[in-house]
Amino acid sequence: MRMTERITKAVIPAAGLGTRFLPATKAMPKEMLPVVDKPAIQYVVEEAVEAGLTDVLMITGRNKNALENHFDRVAELEATLVAKGDTAKLEKVNQSTDLADMHYVRQGDPLGLGHAVLRAKMHVGREPFAVLLGDDIIDARDVLLARMLEEQIARNASIVALLEVDPDSIHLYGAAAVEATDEDDVVRITGLVEKPAKEDAPSNYAVIGRYVLKPDVFDVLEHTQPGKGGEIQLTDALMEMAADVEGTGGVYGVIFRGRRYDTGDKLDYIKAVIQLAADRDDLGPELKPWLAEYVAGLGRD
- What residues line the site for ligand G1P (CB under 6 A)? 113, 133, 135-136, 173-174, 194, 206-209, 233-235, 264
* Cβ-contact 145, 210 below 8 angstroms: yes
Measured between alpha carbons, how far is 94 from 283 in angstroms, rounded to an integer?
Answer: 22
Residue 146 makes CB contacts below 8 A (sequence gap 6+) with: 50, 51, 52
How many residues are given for the chain? 301
Q: Please, which residue, 25 or 233, has the CB nearer to ligand G1P?
A: 233
Q: Please, which residue, 38 or 171, has the CB nearer to ligand G1P?
A: 171
Minimum distance of ligand G1P from residue 179's CB (angstroms) = 19
Minimum distance of ligand G1P from residue 16's CB (angstroms) = 7
Minimum distance of ligand G1P from residue 203's CB (angstroms) = 13
Minimum distance of ligand G1P from residue 233's CB (angstroms) = 6
Closest-CB residue for ligand G1P? 174
Q: Please, which residue, 17 or 291, has the CB nearer to ligand G1P?
A: 17
In a 10 Å sphere around its CB, with 0-12 CB exposed, 13-18 middle and 19+ buried, how is residue 139 labelled?
A: middle
User: Is the previous residue joined to 285 through a cis bond, with omega within 30 degrees of 0?
Assistant: no
Measured between alpha carbons, how far is 40 from 18 in angstroms, rounded to an integer?
Answer: 13
Task: Provide the 3-class DSSP secondary structure of residue 86.
Answer: coil
Q: Please, which residue, 81 or 236, has the CB nearer to ligand G1P?
A: 236
* Cβ-contact 276, 36 below 8 angstroms: yes
Q: Please, which residue, 18 or 39, has the CB nearer to ligand G1P?
A: 18
Minimum distance of ligand G1P from residue 161's CB (angstroms) = 9
